[in-house]
Amino acid sequence: MKPSCGLLILSLSLLIGCGKKAPEQEANGPEVNPPAQPPVKEPEQPPAKPKVEPTKATLTPGMKAAEKAHEAGNYWEAAQLYTVELAAEEAKLAPNWVQLSHLHNELGSALDYAGLYDKALKHHQKSLAIKLRHLGPEHPEVATSYNNIGLVHNNKGEYDKALKHHQKSLAIKLKHLGPEHTDVANSYNNIGGVHRNKGEYDKALEYFQKSLAIKIKQLGPEHPDVAISYNIIGLEHDNKGEYDKALEYFQKALAIQLIQLGPEHPDVAMSYNNIGRVHRKKGKYDKALEHYQKSLAIQLKQLGPEHPNVAINYHNMAYVYKAKKDLAKSKEFIGKGHAIFLKKLGPNHPHTKKAKAQLDALKE
């Protein structure tokens, strides 16, 4: 399974979490592009009388290479590798439906990260159609596809469509997994994410709190997934301008992560980033830079110098330098970020376009 460290942020101003990315994705925070988030476990409880109990997909060398590419932030490369694997499976006399469904899902996710939302939808919908045919309409794997389709619609700004698919996913999970399953918590997070993007922050908080309550009960108060929920809730308070509350939640998250994951885990970098964000908004620019630099140091070591999350951090630091009226430094860091986006995501990705516009504005 691919790490979720490929998470990108539309505002280029926060990070939400790394960890393992399972076939189902979870949106992470108020300004998150997609996917990624907390480790999302495969449903452990079987559905009621499925048509067929699916087996896991067999990972070929090409699929493993695609996962590594995704982990490194090479979403184009991952998509190309999955495309090759999908074509090979489709060319067989008797293609395996589990392989086909898995490949369409993974290709859809790679395309989603690459900003090719319409193509991503196409493959997620194909994965869904295969699951409906072989598993029936109420299998948790079907819920996973509804979830991922909802995430793409959310990224496209089609919030009503996103809510519709997330609600379908939630209904299946509630029926077959029960109201306190961690997959239900993930659906609450994703529904909250849509409300967040609609500017409905109180409603978003309501769903994020529901998710947190389930995670604390099922996983314990010091689980890394609980820390991710604290970050998500902190970001919501940040959106509402409640900076002290936001800081409180970010520090709770950081405390858990330092104990459970260690000081150099990418999720620790996420929390440092979010703490830096609050200090920046409060006008404490030196403190903001201190935390952004801590975040960046971890990312450079753990993710490598060309990972898109490193680019995001460069942009965060650029915002601080701009606020400090150091336009030369701001331009330098935006340029670094743009170069990574251009190489990793291509010229047409929303993040690359936004970075280029910011860079052009500083040249004027």
CATH number for the domain spanning 33: value is 1.25.40.10
Provide the pLDDT for residue 34. 30
User: How far lies 226's CA from each of 42, 57, 178, in Å?
Assistant: 18, 29, 19
Through-space distance between the first and last CA atoms of the chain, rounded to whole angstroms: 44
Query: What distance in Å separates the CA atoms of residue 87 and residue 93, rounded to the nearest whole number?
Result: 12
Tokens of residue 139, six digits:
């299998």
234 touches 254 (CB < 8 A): no
Q: Is the pLDDT of residue 312 over 70?
A: yes
Q: Where does 91-198 have alpha helices with state H? A: 97-113, 117-135, 140-155, 159-177, 182-197
Provide the pLDDT for residue 2. 40
- Tokens 């709190």 locate to 209
Q: Is the pLDDT of residue 6 over 50?
A: no
Tokens of residue 29, six digits:
């925070």
Q: Is the pLDDT of residue 331 over 90?
A: yes
Provide the pLDDT for residue 54. 62
Q: If we measure between CA atoms, which residue out of 266, 203, 200 comes closest to residue 231?
A: 266
2 touches 67 (CB < 8 A): yes
277 touches 288 (CB < 8 A): yes
Q: Of 48-62, 166-180, 259-273, 289-303, give the lowest mean pLDDT range.
A: 48-62
Query: What distance in Å separates the CA atoms of residue 224 and residue 230, rounded to the nearest whole number?
Result: 10
Provide the pLDDT for residue 35. 31
User: Per the structure, how many domains does the chain have?
Assistant: 1
Q: If we measure between CA atoms, which residue out of 175, 174, 127, 124 comes closest to residue 152?
A: 124
Beta-ladder partners of 32: 9
Residues 6+ apart with CB under 8 A from 254: 227, 268, 271, 272, 275
Q: Coil, strand, or helix at residue 232?
A: helix
Average of per-residue pLDDT across 68-94? 95
Q: Is the pLDDT of residue 91 over 90?
A: yes
Q: What's the domain range around 138?
A: 2-363
Query: What distance in Å separates the CA atoms of residue 15 and residue 269, rounded to the nearest whole number?
Result: 8
Provide the pLDDT for residue 348. 87
Q: Write down the mean pLDDT value for the chain.
A: 87
Q: Is the pLDDT of residue 225 over 70?
A: yes
Q: Is the pLDDT of residue 277 over 80?
A: yes
Which region holds residue 15: left if phi is over 0, alpha if psi is between -120 and 50, else beta?
beta
pTM score, whole prediction: 0.84
| 8-12, 162-166, 304-308, 339-343: range with highest mean pLDDT | 162-166
114 touches 75 (CB < 8 A): yes
Provide the pLDDT for residue 206. 97
Beta-ladder partners of 20: 3
Which has more confidence, 51 or 43? Answer: 51
Q: Is the pLDDT of residue 28 over 70?
A: no
Provide the pLDDT for residue 49. 47
Give Rg (Cα) of the chain.
Answer: 20
Q: Is the pLDDT of residue 5 over 60?
A: no
Query: What distance in Å separates the CA atoms of residue 348 and residue 341, rounded to the nearest whole number?
Result: 10
